[in-house]
Amino acid sequence: MALRPPGRRRRAALRPAAEMPCLLRPDRALQPAPTRYDASTLAAFPLMPLIRFVLAQLLGWALIFAALKAGAPLTGLWLATGQGVLAALASRALRAERWWHVFHLAFTPLIWAASLLGIGAGWYLAAFAVLALFYWTSFRTQVPLFLTNATTTAAVLDLLPRQPAQVLDAGAGTGSLLRPLAAARPDCRFVGIEAAPGPWLIGRWLAAGTPNVDWRRGDFWAEDWARYDLVYTFLSPVPMPEVWAKAQREMRPGARLVSNSFAVPEARPDFVVPAARAGGRELYVYSPAGNRKAPIKG
- Binding positions for ligand SAM, rule: CB under 6 A: 136, 141, 143, 145-148, 169, 171-173, 176-177, 193-196, 199, 219-221, 234-235
Q: Which is nearer to ligand SAM, 107 or 220 (CB)?
A: 220
* Minimal distance, residue 191 CB to ligand SAM, in Å: 12
Nearest alpha-carbon partner for 136 in 125, 148, 144: 144
Q: Which is nearer to ligand SAM, 20 or 193 (CB)?
A: 193
* Minimal distance, residue 140 CB to ligand SAM, in Å: 9
Nearest alpha-carbon partner for 140 in 42, 216, 1: 42
Contact assessment for residue 265 and residue 35, using Cβ atoms and an 8 Å cutoff: yes
Contact assessment for residue 225 and residue 182, using Cβ atoms and an 8 Å cutoff: no
* Minimal distance, residue 30 CB to ligand SAM, in Å: 22
Q: Which is nearer to ligand SAM, 108 or 148 (CB)?
A: 148
* Minimal distance, residue 189 CB to ligand SAM, in Å: 17
What is the SS3 assignment for 44?
A: helix
Burial tier of 14 (Cβ tally within 10 Å: 0-12, 13-18, 19+): buried
Q: H helices within 117-149, ranges in order? A: 121-135, 138-141
Strands 213-217 and 256-260: what pairing?
Answer: unpaired
User: Which residue number places its CB atom closest to ligand SAM?
Assistant: 171
* Minimal distance, residue 197 CB to ligand SAM, in Å: 10
Q: Which is nearer to ligand SAM, 109 or 180 (CB)?
A: 180
Q: Which is nearer to ligand SAM, 24 or 231 (CB)?
A: 231
Helix, strand, coil distribution of the chain in percent, nearest 5: 45, 10, 45
